A and B are shown apart, each in its own frame.
Chain A
């Protein structure tokens, strides 16, 4: 084994030290999900790319990876869409504007938006998968001239847990957005489309060579969306996806997020489909 030059401790970064940031706004989106606006000290930019995540922590409760939901084009603060699923998120849901929360990051690769320039972008979001992809959607809308068509396919379990209602209504009306929505099971009041997200894909009219798809959703969704995109004859090279794992440390050390040999917190969470096709634990 080659001996490593041991780096002087003083030259290392504060890997595990959170910055205390202020919650400046809280919006209830659904019974389970809230959108938190968070301001770093002095209003400095988080400096993230769409698709990156931060580690959010409450002292005495713990820390968890949460994807950034706002576009880097939003200045002064960033947003996190948080579902109440455990102790930490339950406690975060009780927090009010003015309270402070620990933030580390941003971490992960995020989407390389330069690759999407001039392309038609097909966003396929299942459930809470819309939270990270909203960062990209808003980035495209704020730089509209740099991209081709913006096609959004959003599927949700039911119409009662649809996210980002205000923005969704804007997207539905916006002539620059092609917005398709479906729910698995609609309530009696639901007048929209019913069916799983893959049912939206066959009807799409795509300029195949010029379309890049971005997929994010629950684990079970990916392989079926990929199948649907492939039967649509979209090339595998044109598919990107953002994956969820347990990114405990965010800095490539703790091991929890590994997919085969790949650390999702370092190489992901955004993957080019041809690269993870060979990673058997990925999808």
Chain B
């Protein structure tokens, strides 16, 4: 659509302009080296140049804990709590995290559309921002360049002295209406290259994964894995959950709550009587990687991993999803070459 020049010195005013319209969520510094999305209180606290946040913005549409039902134990009745649309601006989102939301949309729209997710998702606008890939990012290998604007309403491209603000949707245009900005006429600097790569084109991944079910890499990586489930917790496209009932101290009321769960945890497949269907850590490793590159991908035709690098950056045992996939590629090439 159009491009405007947003100089660094005007960013706080720009954020304040967004805040005058809707609540704004943006990355903030958390501790010394971590970043997290949080509601913006003071525009100057927003950090637009960051490697990655600990969790993605998934936490706003599918909170880590949420009430599905509230119940009254005396009356033996229950009710569904009202969920409100967030109707907010998500500012400073990296391309892979915007794509991750679109993937979650797929999971929550297809089959049985889910009300809580779809309600929270209403009215959300995305203002993307470019980033410099670090040693964990590899979204370029899964079809998401660092400057990918798809799914965004506005996008902030880094440029000399500030940002080239690109409008992408009528809603995005509406957000900047009334905020005076000069046009950006210069070209955009080339996006920084990725340091991490999956060695094959996306199209070939399907064959690689189909071939890799019994690969040695599962056992080898599983030897390091401590089954902590951190990779699941930080993944922007993981959406599996568990449901538990909580009773308050009066024992008359309570709620049925869902919380994020993870397929790397041993208890994930446990059924009544104690049988565990993915008992071996290697089987759980494979399940996670297959969920990201095969099972959903075979149906949708695209990887369900967005290349954010969070699982690798956060892994307590140093397991890298890129290395796993590249090992599978090598195995495949060794046989098929």
Contact = CB atoms under 8 A, between A and B. Distances in A.
Interface residues of A, number: 50
Contacts of A11: 113
A269 to B, nearest CB: 12
Majority-rule SS of A interface residues: loop
A93 interface: no
Interface stretch (B1-9, B75-83, B311-319, B321-329): B75-83
A245 B269 contact: yes
B78 A102 contact: yes
Most A CB within 10 A of own CB, among B213, B239, B242, B271: B271
Interface stretch (B42-50, B104-112, B155-163): B104-112
A255 B151 contact: no
B278 A281 contact: yes
Contacts of A18: 69, 78
Contacts of B263: 255, 258
Given A254-B261, A256-B269, A20 B108 contact: no
A66 to B, nearest CB: 10
Interface stretch (A57-65, A113-121, A194-202): A57-65
Interface string B154-178: 0000000000000000000000000
Given A219-B275, A249-B243, A60 B109 contact: no
Interface in B293-337: 294-296, 298, 302
Contacts of A280: 213
A260 B290 contact: yes
Interface string B217-261: 000000000000000000000011111110100010010101001
A89 B272 CA distance: 10
Contact of A252 (B68, B111, B271, B295): B111
Interface string A1-33: 111111111011111111010000000000000
Contacts of B290: 260-261
Contacts of B113: 7, 11-13
Interface in A235-279: 244-246, 248-249, 251-256, 258-261, 266
Contacts of B118: 6-9, 12
A253 B107 contact: yes
Majority-rule SS of B interface residues: mixed
B71 A1 contact: no
A34 to B, nearest CB: 15
Given A1-B302, A7-B118, A20-B77, A15 B102 contact: no
Interface string B11-27: 00000000000000000
A86 B272 contact: yes
A44 interface: no
B283 interface: yes
B10 interface: no
A85 interface: yes
Contact of A1 (B80, B102, B254, B291): B102
B71 A4 contact: no
B129 to A, nearest CB: 18
A100 interface: yes
Nearest to A251: B112
Contact of A62 (B109, B112, B239, B245): B245
Nearest to A264: B277
A251 B111 contact: yes
Contacts of A57: 256
B119 interface: yes
B109 A4 contact: yes
Given A254-B241, A260-B290, A261-B298, 14 more contacts: A1-B103, A12-B118, A18-B78, A59-B72, A59-B256, A60-B73, A86-B272, A246-B271, A249-B243, A253-B112, A254-B240, A280-B213, A281-B277, A281-B283
17 contacts: A1-B151, A5-B109, A12-B114, A13-B115, A15-B115, A59-B78, A59-B245, A61-B245, A63-B245, A85-B272, A253-B107, A254-B240, A254-B258, A258-B287, A260-B290, A261-B291, A261-B294
Interface of B: 68-69, 71-73, 76-78, 80, 83, 99, 102-103, 105-115, 118-119, 121-122, 150-151, 213, 239-245, 247, 251, 254, 256, 258, 261, 263, 268-273, 275, 277-278, 283, 287, 290-291, 294-296, 298, 302
| Nearest 6 A/B pairs, CB to CB | A261-B295, A255-B240, A59-B71, A12-B115, A1-B102, A251-B112
